[in-house]
Structure 1
Protein backbone atom coordinates (compact mmCIF):
# COMPACT_ATOMS: atom_id res chain seq x y z
CA UNK A 1 0.00 0.00 0.00
CA UNK A 2 1.29 3.43 -0.94
CA UNK A 3 2.15 5.66 2.00
CA UNK A 4 0.05 8.84 2.16
CA UNK A 5 2.31 11.87 2.21
CA UNK A 6 1.21 14.81 4.31
CA UNK A 7 1.95 18.20 2.72
CA UNK A 8 4.10 20.55 4.77
CA UNK A 9 4.65 24.30 4.57
CA UNK A 10 8.31 23.81 3.66
CA UNK A 11 9.04 25.26 0.24
CA UNK A 12 12.02 24.29 -1.85
CA UNK A 13 13.01 26.84 -4.47
CA UNK A 14 14.52 25.94 -7.79
CA UNK A 15 17.77 27.63 -8.69
CA UNK A 16 17.71 29.97 -11.69
CA UNK A 17 19.73 27.59 -13.88
CA UNK A 18 17.85 24.42 -12.87
CA UNK A 19 15.91 22.39 -15.41
CA UNK A 20 13.83 19.45 -14.21
CA UNK A 21 13.38 16.97 -17.04
CA UNK A 22 11.25 13.86 -17.16
CA UNK A 23 9.88 11.57 -19.83
CA UNK A 24 6.79 9.40 -19.61
CA UNK A 25 4.86 6.90 -21.64
CA UNK A 26 1.59 8.01 -23.25
CA UNK A 27 -0.12 6.83 -20.04
CA UNK A 28 2.04 9.03 -17.78
CA UNK A 29 4.42 6.34 -16.49
CA UNK A 30 7.88 7.81 -15.76
CA UNK A 31 10.62 6.41 -17.99
CA UNK A 32 13.31 9.02 -17.29
CA UNK A 33 14.07 11.65 -14.68
CA UNK A 34 17.16 13.83 -14.66
CA UNK A 35 19.21 14.32 -11.47
CA UNK A 36 17.44 17.60 -10.66
CA UNK A 37 14.03 15.87 -10.86
CA UNK A 38 15.35 13.23 -8.48
CA UNK A 39 16.73 15.93 -6.16
CA UNK A 40 13.54 17.99 -5.97
CA UNK A 41 11.11 15.07 -5.84
CA UNK A 42 13.04 13.45 -2.99
CA UNK A 43 12.54 10.03 -4.55
CA UNK A 44 15.31 7.78 -5.78
CA UNK A 45 15.52 7.04 -9.48
CA UNK A 46 14.34 3.49 -8.75
CA UNK A 47 11.28 4.83 -6.90
CA UNK A 48 10.37 7.16 -9.79
CA UNK A 49 10.89 4.92 -12.80
CA UNK A 50 7.78 2.92 -13.64
CA UNK A 51 5.44 5.03 -11.48
CA UNK A 52 2.76 7.52 -12.49
CA UNK A 53 4.06 11.07 -12.88
CA UNK A 54 1.33 12.21 -10.50
CA UNK A 55 3.53 10.85 -7.69
CA UNK A 56 4.62 14.50 -7.29
CA UNK A 57 1.11 15.97 -7.50
CA UNK A 58 0.39 18.43 -4.71
CA UNK A 59 -3.16 18.42 -3.30
CA UNK A 60 -3.29 22.23 -3.71
CA UNK A 61 -3.43 21.73 -7.48
CA UNK A 62 -6.94 21.65 -8.95
CA UNK A 63 -7.89 18.56 -10.94
CA UNK A 64 -9.16 20.82 -13.73
CA UNK A 65 -5.63 22.14 -14.28
CA UNK A 66 -4.38 18.62 -15.00
CA UNK A 67 -7.37 17.88 -17.23
CA UNK A 68 -6.45 20.94 -19.29
CA UNK A 69 -2.83 19.79 -19.49
CA UNK A 70 -3.80 16.25 -20.54
CA UNK A 71 -6.39 17.44 -23.07
CA UNK A 72 -3.77 19.73 -24.61
CA UNK A 73 -0.92 17.23 -24.89
CA UNK A 74 -3.13 14.31 -25.94
CA UNK A 75 -4.29 16.48 -28.85
CA UNK A 76 -0.65 16.74 -29.96
CA UNK A 77 -0.06 20.31 -28.79
CA UNK A 78 2.47 21.59 -26.28
CA UNK A 79 1.38 22.78 -22.85
CA UNK A 80 2.77 25.54 -20.64
CA UNK A 81 1.72 26.14 -17.06
CA UNK A 82 2.60 26.79 -13.46
CA UNK A 83 2.47 23.73 -11.21
CA UNK A 84 2.92 23.19 -7.50
CA UNK A 85 4.58 19.80 -6.91
CA UNK A 86 5.06 17.84 -3.70
CA UNK A 87 8.25 16.01 -2.74
CA UNK A 88 8.42 12.69 -0.94
CA UNK A 89 8.95 14.46 2.41
CA UNK A 90 5.83 16.63 1.94
CA UNK A 91 7.69 19.80 1.01
CA UNK A 92 6.64 21.62 -2.14
CA UNK A 93 8.22 23.34 -5.10
CA UNK A 94 6.74 25.47 -7.85
CA UNK A 95 7.72 25.00 -11.48
CA UNK A 96 7.00 26.57 -14.84
CA UNK A 97 6.38 23.52 -17.00
CA UNK A 98 6.54 22.91 -20.72
CA UNK A 99 5.17 19.52 -21.78
CA UNK A 100 5.50 18.25 -25.32
CA UNK A 101 4.18 15.07 -26.90
CA UNK A 102 6.70 12.58 -28.31
CA UNK A 103 5.65 11.03 -31.63
CA UNK A 104 6.68 7.85 -33.39
CA UNK A 105 7.38 7.80 -37.14
CA UNK A 106 3.65 7.32 -37.82
CA UNK A 107 2.86 10.52 -35.89
CA UNK A 108 1.29 8.61 -32.99
CA UNK A 109 1.93 9.92 -29.48
CA UNK A 110 4.19 7.47 -27.66
CA UNK A 111 5.04 9.59 -24.65
CA UNK A 112 5.67 13.04 -23.25
CA UNK A 113 8.69 15.13 -22.32
CA UNK A 114 8.36 17.69 -19.57
CA UNK A 115 10.91 20.40 -18.91
CA UNK A 116 10.36 22.49 -15.81
CA UNK A 117 12.24 25.60 -14.87
CA UNK A 118 12.32 28.09 -12.04
CA UNK A 119 9.09 30.11 -12.07
CA UNK A 120 8.89 33.84 -11.45
CA UNK A 121 7.66 34.64 -7.90
CA UNK A 122 5.26 37.30 -9.17
CA UNK A 123 3.67 34.77 -11.54
CA UNK A 124 3.14 32.33 -8.66
CA UNK A 125 1.49 35.05 -6.58
CA UNK A 126 -0.95 35.63 -9.46
CA UNK A 127 -1.76 32.00 -10.31
CA UNK A 128 -2.05 30.74 -6.71
CA UNK A 129 -5.35 32.58 -6.02
CA UNK A 130 -6.78 31.24 -9.30
CA UNK A 131 -5.87 27.69 -8.27
CA UNK A 132 -7.41 28.25 -4.83
CA UNK A 133 -10.68 29.39 -6.45
CA UNK A 134 -10.66 26.41 -8.81
CA UNK A 135 -9.96 24.01 -5.94
CA UNK A 136 -12.71 25.54 -3.79
CA UNK A 137 -15.18 25.12 -6.65
CA UNK A 138 -14.06 21.51 -7.13
CA UNK A 139 -14.53 20.71 -3.44
CA UNK A 140 -17.95 22.41 -3.35
CA UNK A 141 -19.13 20.52 -6.44
CA UNK A 142 -18.12 17.09 -5.17
CA UNK A 143 -16.04 14.42 -6.88
CA UNK A 144 -18.39 13.76 -9.80
CA UNK A 145 -18.61 17.40 -10.94
CA UNK A 146 -15.28 18.67 -9.60
CA UNK A 147 -13.41 19.01 -12.88
CA UNK A 148 -16.31 20.81 -14.57
CA UNK A 149 -16.60 23.23 -11.63
CA UNK A 150 -12.86 23.98 -11.59
CA UNK A 151 -12.84 24.42 -15.35
CA UNK A 152 -15.73 26.88 -15.15
CA UNK A 153 -13.74 29.08 -12.76
CA UNK A 154 -10.83 29.15 -15.21
CA UNK A 155 -13.06 29.74 -18.26
CA UNK A 156 -14.85 32.59 -16.47
CA UNK A 157 -11.48 34.20 -15.71
CA UNK A 158 -10.37 33.82 -19.32
CA UNK A 159 -13.62 35.37 -20.53
CA UNK A 160 -13.19 38.31 -18.13
CA UNK A 161 -9.63 38.93 -19.31
CA UNK A 162 -10.36 38.27 -22.98
CA UNK A 163 -7.32 35.97 -23.11
CA UNK A 164 -6.72 32.39 -24.11
CA UNK A 165 -5.16 30.09 -21.53
CA UNK A 166 -1.75 30.41 -23.19
CA UNK A 167 -2.00 34.22 -23.25
CA UNK A 168 -2.87 34.19 -19.55
CA UNK A 169 0.09 31.98 -18.65
CA UNK A 170 2.55 34.08 -20.61
CA UNK A 171 1.11 37.34 -19.22
CA UNK A 172 1.83 36.36 -15.61
Structure 2
Protein backbone atom coordinates (compact mmCIF):
# COMPACT_ATOMS: atom_id res chain seq x y z
CA UNK A 1 0.00 0.00 0.00
CA UNK A 2 1.25 3.46 -0.77
CA UNK A 3 1.67 6.12 1.88
CA UNK A 4 -1.70 7.17 3.22
CA UNK A 5 -2.36 10.55 4.80
CA UNK A 6 -5.26 10.42 7.22
CA UNK A 7 -6.64 13.60 8.77
CA UNK A 8 -7.61 12.94 12.40
CA UNK A 9 -11.11 13.87 13.54
CA UNK A 10 -12.61 14.05 17.03
CA UNK A 11 -14.99 11.17 16.35
CA UNK A 12 -14.37 8.24 18.69
CA UNK A 13 -15.35 4.64 18.08
CA UNK A 14 -15.77 2.83 21.39
CA UNK A 15 -15.06 -0.87 21.55
CA UNK A 16 -17.83 -3.11 22.82
CA UNK A 17 -17.39 -5.26 25.92
CA UNK A 18 -16.05 -8.62 24.81
CA UNK A 19 -14.57 -7.33 21.54
CA UNK A 20 -11.08 -8.56 20.77
CA UNK A 21 -9.02 -6.99 18.02
CA UNK A 22 -6.41 -9.50 16.90
CA UNK A 23 -3.52 -9.05 14.52
CA UNK A 24 -0.23 -10.69 13.69
CA UNK A 25 2.83 -9.15 12.09
CA UNK A 26 6.10 -10.43 10.73
CA UNK A 27 9.34 -9.45 12.48
CA UNK A 28 9.42 -6.16 10.54
CA UNK A 29 5.95 -5.12 11.76
CA UNK A 30 4.08 -5.87 8.52
CA UNK A 31 0.56 -7.17 9.05
CA UNK A 32 0.12 -10.84 8.19
CA UNK A 33 -3.29 -11.34 9.82
CA UNK A 34 -6.13 -9.25 11.17
CA UNK A 35 -9.48 -10.45 12.43
CA UNK A 36 -12.82 -8.98 11.36
CA UNK A 37 -12.98 -6.76 14.44
CA UNK A 38 -9.62 -5.24 13.43
CA UNK A 39 -11.02 -4.50 9.97
CA UNK A 40 -14.22 -3.09 11.47
CA UNK A 41 -12.55 -0.67 13.87
CA UNK A 42 -9.67 0.37 11.62
CA UNK A 43 -11.97 0.87 8.64
CA UNK A 44 -9.50 -0.89 6.36
CA UNK A 45 -10.24 -4.03 4.40
CA UNK A 46 -8.15 -7.15 4.83
CA UNK A 47 -6.53 -6.54 1.44
CA UNK A 48 -5.61 -2.99 2.44
CA UNK A 49 -4.01 -4.17 5.69
CA UNK A 50 -2.12 -7.31 4.70
CA UNK A 51 1.55 -6.57 4.04
CA UNK A 52 1.22 -3.03 5.41
CA UNK A 53 3.19 -1.72 8.39
CA UNK A 54 1.11 -1.96 11.57
CA UNK A 55 1.78 1.72 12.20
CA UNK A 56 -0.78 2.50 9.48
CA UNK A 57 -3.20 2.87 12.42
CA UNK A 58 -0.85 4.93 14.61
CA UNK A 59 -2.62 8.05 15.82
CA UNK A 60 -0.52 11.24 15.92
CA UNK A 61 -1.61 11.75 19.56
CA UNK A 62 0.52 8.75 20.56
CA UNK A 63 3.97 9.49 22.02
CA UNK A 64 6.79 7.81 20.11
CA UNK A 65 8.28 6.67 23.43
CA UNK A 66 5.34 4.30 24.00
CA UNK A 67 6.15 2.48 20.77
CA UNK A 68 9.87 2.46 21.57
CA UNK A 69 9.04 0.78 24.90
CA UNK A 70 6.75 -1.67 23.14
CA UNK A 71 9.35 -2.62 20.52
CA UNK A 72 12.15 -2.88 23.07
CA UNK A 73 10.10 -5.26 25.20
CA UNK A 74 8.83 -7.54 22.44
CA UNK A 75 12.22 -7.69 20.71
CA UNK A 76 13.64 -8.79 24.07
CA UNK A 77 11.14 -11.67 24.06
CA UNK A 78 8.80 -10.12 26.63
CA UNK A 79 5.12 -9.37 26.43
CA UNK A 80 3.92 -5.82 26.93
CA UNK A 81 0.65 -4.12 27.77
CA UNK A 82 -0.03 -0.56 26.63
CA UNK A 83 -2.89 1.85 26.20
CA UNK A 84 -2.92 2.87 22.55
CA UNK A 85 -4.97 5.40 20.62
CA UNK A 86 -5.38 4.16 17.05
CA UNK A 87 -6.55 6.08 14.01
CA UNK A 88 -9.15 4.76 11.59
CA UNK A 89 -9.08 5.08 7.83
CA UNK A 90 -11.80 7.77 8.06
CA UNK A 91 -9.83 9.81 10.64
CA UNK A 92 -11.84 8.74 13.68
CA UNK A 93 -10.06 6.98 16.53
CA UNK A 94 -10.41 4.20 19.07
CA UNK A 95 -8.58 3.41 22.30
CA UNK A 96 -7.39 -0.08 23.16
CA UNK A 97 -5.54 -1.92 25.88
CA UNK A 98 -3.02 -3.81 23.77
CA UNK A 99 -1.21 -6.97 24.78
CA UNK A 100 1.65 -7.67 22.38
CA UNK A 101 3.78 -10.81 22.49
CA UNK A 102 6.48 -12.37 20.34
CA UNK A 103 5.39 -15.40 18.30
CA UNK A 104 7.76 -18.37 17.83
CA UNK A 105 7.72 -21.57 15.80
CA UNK A 106 8.28 -25.02 17.34
CA UNK A 107 12.07 -24.61 17.06
CA UNK A 108 11.99 -21.28 18.93
CA UNK A 109 12.57 -19.10 15.87
CA UNK A 110 10.88 -15.72 16.07
CA UNK A 111 8.11 -15.52 13.47
CA UNK A 112 6.67 -12.13 14.34
CA UNK A 113 4.37 -10.57 16.87
CA UNK A 114 0.85 -11.25 18.06
CA UNK A 115 -1.40 -8.50 19.40
CA UNK A 116 -4.72 -8.77 21.18
CA UNK A 117 -6.51 -5.55 21.97
CA UNK A 118 -9.55 -5.11 24.16
CA UNK A 119 -11.74 -2.30 25.40
CA UNK A 120 -9.80 -0.21 27.89
CA UNK A 121 -11.24 0.98 31.18
CA UNK A 122 -12.56 4.52 30.49
CA UNK A 123 -11.11 5.66 33.83
CA UNK A 124 -7.69 4.50 32.65
CA UNK A 125 -7.96 6.51 29.44
CA UNK A 126 -8.95 9.60 31.43
CA UNK A 127 -5.70 9.19 33.39
CA UNK A 128 -3.41 8.18 30.53
CA UNK A 129 -4.43 10.99 28.14
CA UNK A 130 -2.83 13.81 30.21
CA UNK A 131 0.37 11.78 30.57
CA UNK A 132 0.51 11.12 26.82
CA UNK A 133 -0.08 14.84 26.13
CA UNK A 134 2.86 15.69 28.43
CA UNK A 135 5.00 13.07 26.71
CA UNK A 136 4.11 14.49 23.28
CA UNK A 137 4.97 17.98 24.48
CA UNK A 138 8.33 16.69 25.77
CA UNK A 139 8.97 15.11 22.36
CA UNK A 140 8.13 18.32 20.51
CA UNK A 141 10.23 20.46 22.86
CA UNK A 142 13.24 18.17 22.61
CA UNK A 143 13.28 18.07 18.81
CA UNK A 144 13.41 15.07 16.52
CA UNK A 145 16.81 13.74 17.60
CA UNK A 146 16.07 13.72 21.36
CA UNK A 147 12.28 13.31 21.27
CA UNK A 148 12.03 9.69 22.35
CA UNK A 149 14.62 10.09 25.10
CA UNK A 150 12.81 13.14 26.51
CA UNK A 151 9.43 11.43 26.44
CA UNK A 152 10.84 8.23 27.93
CA UNK A 153 12.43 10.23 30.74
CA UNK A 154 9.09 11.84 31.55
CA UNK A 155 7.44 8.41 31.72
CA UNK A 156 10.29 7.02 33.84
CA UNK A 157 10.09 10.00 36.22
CA UNK A 158 6.31 9.59 36.53
CA UNK A 159 6.65 5.91 37.37
CA UNK A 160 9.45 6.60 39.88
CA UNK A 161 7.46 9.37 41.57
CA UNK A 162 4.61 6.90 42.03
CA UNK A 163 7.00 4.08 43.01
CA UNK A 164 5.45 1.73 40.48
CA UNK A 165 6.68 -0.38 37.59
CA UNK A 166 5.38 0.22 34.08
CA UNK A 167 3.48 -3.08 34.06
CA UNK A 168 1.87 -2.44 37.44
CA UNK A 169 0.98 1.08 36.33
CA UNK A 170 -0.82 -0.03 33.15
CA UNK A 171 -2.55 -3.04 34.66
CA UNK A 172 -3.52 -1.02 37.75
CA UNK A 173 -5.16 1.63 35.58
CA UNK A 174 -7.11 -1.06 33.71
CA UNK A 175 -8.36 -2.60 36.96
CA UNK A 176 -9.29 0.71 38.60
TM-score with structure 2 length normalisation?
Answer: 0.96
Shift of 1:170: 1.2
> How far apart, in 2, do the equivalents of 1:20 and 1:126 lie?
23
Distance (Å, rounded) in 1 between the aligned partners of 2:3 and 2:83: 27
1:19 matched to which residue of 2?
20
Q: Distance in 1 between matches of 2:57 and 2:4?
A: 13
Distance 2:148 2:83 in 1: 18
What residue number does 2:114 align with? Answer: 113
**SS of residue paired to 1:101:** strand
**Is the Cα–Cα contact under 8 Å of residues 21 and 34 in structure 1 kept in the other structure?**
yes
Number of the residue aligned with 2:84: 83
Give 3-state SS (helix, strand or coil) of 2:23's partner.
strand
Structure 2: state its 5+ residue gaps.
none
Equivalent positions of 1:1-172 (< 5 A) are: 1-172=2-173
Maintained 8 Å contact 1:74/1:109: no
Deviations 1:3-57 (A, max 9, x none): 3111000000000010000000011000000000000000110000000000000
1:62·1:135 contact (CA, 8 Å) conserved in 2? yes
How far apart are the structure 1 equivalents of 2:28 and 2:131? 27
- Where 1:143 maps in the other structure, the secondary structure is coil
Give per-residue Cα distances to partners, 1:79-130, cap 9 Å, x unaligned.
1010000000000000011011001233232101100001110000011111
Structure 1 residue ranges, 4+ long, deviating more than 3 angstroms after superposition: none
Paired positions, count: 172
CA RMSD of aligned residues (A): 0.8
Distance 2:109 2:61 in 1: 33
Partner of 1:93: helix, strand, or coil? strand
